[in-house]
Structure formats: C-alpha cells, structure tokens
Amino acid sequence: MKYKTFARSEEEVSLLGFGCWGIGKSMWIGAEDTESKKALHIAIEKGITLFDTALAYGDGHSEKLVGEVEKESGKQIFVATKIPPKNGKWPAPDSAALDEAFPADYIIEKTEQSLKNLKRDYLDLQQFHVWNDKWTDHDEWKEAVMKLKRDGKVRYFGISINDHQPCNGIEAGKTGLIDCYQVIFNIFDQSPR
C-alpha cells in the first residue's frame, strides 16, 4: 500500500481510500451488513487507512459500520465524514442562504451525531457535503469550525465540492479554515486540474 501525507499535516494516509456510500443500505443498492463489514475488515488488513463516509449515507448507517469495524479491528483508521445540508439540496443552489444549509448549531449537532455513530471522541476530517463560495464571508460557519477544532472534536475540516464545480470552495480556502477538498477527478472528468 502506498501512503501520502494528508493536507498540511505530517500524518500519512493510504493513497487508496474506501468509499462508504454503498454500505449505507440505501441510495445505491446497499450491501448486507455482514458483507460490508467483511469488506471493511479486508481493507484495513490490506493497509487502507482512509475511509470516506457521510451522515447522509443511510442516515448514519455507513458511519456506524465504520465505527464498529474500527473497534473490532483494533487498528486506528483515518475517518472522513460529511455534514449534509440542512435544506437537503445537492448541489447547493446559488439561491440558497448559508443559514438554510449550514447554521452553526446544525454544524455542531451533526458533528456530534457523527461522533456518536462512529463511537469516537473526534473526527479526523469533517466536511461540508455541499458548498457555495458566496457563504465564505459569513462568520457563523467559521465560528462553528473553530469551536469544533478547539474542542478537539474535529482535527481537520474540508469541503466536498459540488459535482463538476471544482472552483467552488477556493474563497473558503483563503480563510485558512479549510484543510482539504474532495473533488470528482477521474479518467472521464479532469476539470479540477
């Protein structure tokens, strides 16, 4: 397994990650939990340390499985999860206000819910599941991110970039509060380049 330094840290994570959308038991076909847990265990045994989940994947079901398998394995993994927009809109419409998608109390509440699902004291990476850069100048999200980091509940914070909008999030990154971005980048879509 190859490893890479994560963002601005000195921590190494596996270059290959395990995407956990399909183990949420909804949205996609949804695997059986026994198969999902088996796959997670094999991934950990093979050296994968980066696991990407989200509160929206099966309404926390994916997070719960990741948390169970981490405990069962006895190994520490790097868990990335995401806060769904309160208004349930993917991608974030240009007309949406920040308080419709990510009010401060909601950011904190959903982070606490993910911690409970994962049975962890902290998240390695918490991300906004959608974003609109026009929200950058609002202090509410910044205060919530700083509080979660200060309280030791989130180590790093990021943005899962809206589909095919690789420039959305650049302004938020200039605040210094965003440690990383998750973007669609593959052989078919290389627009983030």
Query: What is the model's pTM?
Result: 0.95
Give the active site residues. Answer: 57
**pLDDT confidence of residue 28:** 67
Helix (H), strand (E), coil (C) string for the chain? CCEEECCCCCCEEECCEEECHHHCCCCCCCCCHHHHHHHHHHHHHCCCCEEECCCCCCCCHHHHHHHHHHHHHCCCCEEEEEECCCCCCCCCCCCCCHHHHCCHHHHHHHHHHHHHHHCCCCEEEEEECCCCHHHCCCHHHHHHHHHHHHCCCEEEEEEECCCCCCCCCHHHHCCCCCCEEECCCCCCCCCCC
**pLDDT confidence of residue 162:** 85
**pLDDT confidence of residue 8:** 85
Write out the chain's pLDDT in tens, 193 residues: 999 999 988 999 999 999 999 999 877 666 899 999 999 999 999 999 999 999 999 999 999 999 999 999 999 999 999 999 999 999 999 999 999 999 999 999 999 999 999 999 999 999 999 999 999 999 999 999 999 999 999 999 999 998 888 889 999 999 999 999 999 888 888 888 8
**pLDDT confidence of residue 185:** 83
**pLDDT confidence of residue 35:** 95
Query: What domains can be seen in the chain, in order of their start residue?
Result: 3-182 (3.20.20.100)
**pLDDT confidence of residue 190:** 85
